[in-house]
Amino acid sequence: MSSENFEKSIKEGYTFKGDYITIGSCIYDNQVVADCPINIPLKTLNRHGLIAGATGTGKTKTIQVLSEQLSGKGIPVLMMDIKGDFSGIAESGAINDFIKERHDKMNLPFDPKGFPVELLTISKQNGIRLRATVSEFGPVLLSRILDLNDTQGGVLAVAFKYCDDHKIPLLDIKDLKKVLNYLTNEGKNEIEADYGRLSTSTTGAILRKIVELEQQDANLFFGEVSFDIHDLIRIDENGNGYVNILRLTDIQDKPKLFSTFMLCLLAEIYNQMPELGDSGQPELVIFIDEAHLIFKEASKALLDQIETIVKLIRSKGIGIYFITQNPTDVPNGVLAQLGLKIQHALRAFTEKDRKAIKTASENFPATAFYKTDEIITQLGTGEALITVLNEKGIPTPLVVGMMRAPVSRMDVLSPSEIDTIISHSSLKDKYNEVVDRDSAYEILNRKLAESATVSDNDKKTSPSKPATPTKETDYMKPIIKVLTSATFIRGAFGVLTKLFKNTKSVK
C-alpha cells in the first residue's frame, strides 16, 4: 500500500465532527507522517479502554498525556498510582532538544504547564483519606468481596437486617465483628424468634475472612467520613478538570483491599451518578494502573460483579481504562468491553510470551498496512499500536503512533511538594478528621453492660431460698443441726443427770 493511501485512510478514520483530544501522530514505513494526528473523540471516551505493554515501553507517559489532554478539556481524572510515578503532572514540564525534535516531526505544539491535582489515599500514605462505611457496601457486595458461600452470605444478611431493624449504625470493621459475635452468643435468644438460629461455625468462618481483610489495613478504609464521589468531579477556576491521584505504592501486596476499594468506588459511582447515555464527553475518566491487582485472587462472583459494572457504568458518563503489561491480565468478559486499545511493545523471551503476543495481535482490527504480530515486538519507547472508537462506535483503522510528550513534569514530586499540595487542598478538613461516632460496637457493649448490671441487682434483691439437698451429706445437715443445738444438749444432759441419780439411789 502506498503512503498516499495510508495517509488518506488514517486521516479519514481519525477525523471527527465533535470535539476530540490528540495523543500523537502516525508512523508509516518507520517514518513519522507529519500532519497525520491520532485523535480520540470525546464522545466515545466513556467506552473504556486498555493500555498495555512491557515495562519501560512508555505506558506511564501515555497515561500522563491522556490525563493532561482530558484535564485541558474540563474532564476530571481519577488515577490509581501504584508505582508512585504520576505526581509530576501537578508541575510544569521542561522542554529539551529531544522533545522539541519529536514534536517538530509530528507538527504538534509543546506548551509546558501543570494541572490541578488532589492526592488521595486509602492506606497509610499521606493524602486526602478515602473511606466508606460497612453499611454502604451492603451484605451482597461484602459477601462477594469476602467470597462467602450462600449460607455465610445469608448469615451476613441477617446481621445487616438486625442492625437496620434496631437502628444500629454499621460503620467500620469492629462494628461488623461485634454484631456477628453478639448474634451468636449473648444475643442468640433475642434473634431466634425473628431471624432463626445462627451457627457459631458459620459466623466463625465469616469472622476469619473479615480478619484476613483487616490484616490488609481495611480498617483504614472502612469508617467515616464517607467519601462523596462528586468531589472527584471538580473543575478548577481555569476550566481544567482535577486530576485525582490515588497514592497506592504500599498496596501491591494487598490485592484484596485494592479490589475491595475499586468495587466499592465503581458501585458508588454507578448508584449516585445520573443516566447520561451517549453525551458529548465523559463526566469522569478512571485509569487503573497495574490492573491485574484487581483480578488477582478474585472469586468468580467478584469478577462477574466487576464485569457487570464495567458494562453498565458507561451510561453514567464514566470511562474506565485498564493499564497492564499484557492484555491477558484482563478477563475476557472485561476485555470485550474496551473500545480503545493502545498497545506498546511486547517482548518475546519464551514460548508463552510468543503465544501471548499472537493473542494480543488478534485483539486488533485487520489492517493492510502492518503485520501486527511482527510490529508489536518492534515498537520503540513511546510508540504504540492504536485503535479507538469513532463517533458511531466503529473501530478506527489500526495505526502505529508516536505518542506526544507530556507537557507536565516527567518525574515525581518531592515529599515537601506533596505535603504542600495536601495542606492546600480544599478537601483536607472535610475528610482527614477521624470520626468514630456511636455505632454497633459501642451500642452493643452498652447493652451487654446494662444486662450484666441488671443481673447482678436481681441476685442482690431476690429472697434467699432454702438449699435443696442434692447429696447424701445435705440430708444430714438438719439432723446435725438439731443434735448440736443448745436446747438439745441441755435436754440430753438433764436426762442423763436424772438417770445417774436414779441409779445411785437403787444401790
At residue 64's C-alpha, the angle toward residues 270 and 38, to 5°, is 95
Q: What is the largest CA-CA distance in the chain?
A: 158
CA distances from 66 to 40, 100, 507 (A): 10, 19, 134
Q: Is 439 helix (H, G, I), strand (E, B) or coil?
A: coil
Give which of 126, 92, 80 is closest to 418, Cα–Cα: 126
Print pLDDT tens along the chain (507 aa).
567 788 888 899 999 999 999 999 999 888 898 889 999 999 999 999 999 998 889 999 999 999 999 999 999 999 998 888 899 999 999 999 999 999 999 999 999 999 999 999 988 888 999 888 998 888 988 888 888 888 999 999 999 998 998 899 999 999 999 999 988 888 888 888 788 888 889 999 999 999 988 888 888 888 888 899 999 999 999 999 999 999 988 777 777 777 778 878 888 888 888 888 777 899 999 999 888 877 776 667 778 878 888 888 988 999 999 999 888 888 888 888 899 999 999 887 787 778 888 888 887 888 888 888 888 888 999 999 999 999 999 999 999 999 999 999 999 999 999 999 999 999 998 998 878 888 888 888 888 888 777 655 665 665 555 545 544 444 444 444 444 555 444 454 454 455 445 544 544
**Edge-to-edge strands of the sheet including 318-324?**
31-41, 20-28, 399-403, 383-387, 340-343, 49-52, 318-324, 284-288, 77-81, 243-247, 117-121, 128-129
CA torsion sign for 106, 107, 112, 116 is: negative
pLDDT at 52: 92
CA nearest neighbour of 27 among 98, 104, 97, 106: 106
In contact, 90 and 115? CB cutoff 8 Å: yes
pLDDT for position 104 = 92
Is the four-CA dihedral 213, 217, 219, 225 of positive or negative sign? negative
Fold observed for domain 3-131+237-413: Rossmann fold (3.40.50)
For strands 399-403 and 383-387, give the pairing: antiparallel
Q: Report how far residue 427's alpha carbon sits from residue 388's, in angstroms, rounded to the nearest whole number.
A: 35
User: What is the model's pLDDT at position 286?
Assistant: 94
HEC string of 227-275 equals CCHHHHCCECCCCCECEEEEECCCCCCCHHHHHHHHHHHHHHHHHHCCC
Q: How far is the C-alpha of 228 from the C-alpha of 155, rounded, in Å?
A: 29
Question: What are the structural domain ranges in the chain?
Answer: 3-131+237-413, 134-220
What would the DSSP string read from start to end of 126-164?
SSEEP-B-HHHHHHHHHHHHHT--HHHHHHHHHHHHHHH
